[in-house]
Amino acid sequence: MKTNLIESGKRWLINSFRSPKKSIKVLITVSLLCIPIIILGVIVYKQRDILLTYNWQFHPLPFGLAFIFFCVSIFMSSLVWGYIVNNVSQRISYQKHIYYYILSNLAKRMPGTIWYVASRAQMYSEEGVSITKTSLASGLEMAFIALAGVVIALLFSTEIIVRYHLNPIIFIILLIVGIILLQPKFIKWYLKLFKIDGIRIDYKLLGISLISYAIIWILGGLLLYEIGNIVYPIPSSQLGYVIGSWTIVGVISILFIFSPTNFGITELGLSLLLTKIVPLSIAVVISVTSRILIIIFEISLALIFLGVKRLRKGN
């Protein structure tokens, strides 16, 4: 198995560099894999004092559960993304959607949103999907994620809103505005204004996307909860609080999506909110560990899919 995978990888590299088009594709793929690894190294180096001074104890069960929740979340996200793309463009197999999503998801670790969208645009251009429609699908995806996040935040973050004297009216206004702006009639009017046709936007797309992303937000909270249990035992009674913390920090980080980088915002937010259920030092370790493990999970999943794909081609 290992020999076949290595030989398949060699053949892939040799064949890929025989044409300029394939060379560019290989370069993008390698870059998407290498850059998160570099960023991971930078994070570990910067946080080395915290990581080295903590008394680590490996807990296999929460680690395994964290990876399972991560995988389920990624697969759900890729399926919803595929559903959105199939509505704004021609239909593409969900197997390709999953592969493209997992690979392009690595670009999120690069500073700036443009690289994430650009990587998707390059991949889907090979399927005949225009940059405009790929960008539109990415915009709809982000809008659905944000709106679903606001809903989950209102459901699970009541204690956080009260504790930190946040005004719930802001979240309610965001929810109402989001629902209005994502009405299919409004989106169709917007698309018509910019002369973009061939788009299928209806309430089915809106409903499926919002419900799916609401579940994905909860899965993210479960992921953080299990990562937290790797570091420090967290009572199950605090699961709702962890889900709320994950969601409210995630929604806030979306506001910084067009900034050069939002590194530190998520870690700072989680460290602050988790101090309610764990000591401050532990909260910092959990927030840093969550970022490191999620990047490792992303890289591992991408490598698995690349390996399986090349192995199938080799056979």
Mean pLDDT of the chain: 83
What's the structural domain count of the chain? 1
Q: Has this prediction a pTM greater than 0.95?
A: no
| End-to-end Cα spacing for the chain | 12
- Assigned token pair, 209: 């996307």
The stretch 265-288 carries a mean pLDDT of 86
Look up the domain containing 308 and give its range.
2-314
What confidence category does residue 282 fall into, taking pLDDT thresholds of 50, 70 and 90? confident
pLDDT(229) > 90: yes
pLDDT computed for residue 314 by the predictor:
63
pLDDT computed for residue 155 by the predictor:
92
Distance of alpha carbon 58 from alpha carbon 192, whole angstroms? 56
pLDDT(111) > 50: yes
pLDDT computed for residue 22 by the predictor:
54
- pLDDT: which is higher, 313 or 20: 313
pLDDT computed for residue 2 by the predictor:
46
Each residue's pLDDT tens digit, 170-215? 888 888 998 998 998 888 888 887 777 768 889 999 999 999 999 9
pLDDT(274) > 80: yes
* Residue 199 CA from chain centroid, whole number: 25
Between the CA of residue 34 and those of 12, 22, 63, 113, 126, what are the distances in Å? 18, 18, 24, 18, 23
pLDDT computed for residue 160 by the predictor:
86
pLDDT(5) > 50: no
pLDDT(57) > 60: yes
CB 287 within 8 A of CB 271: yes
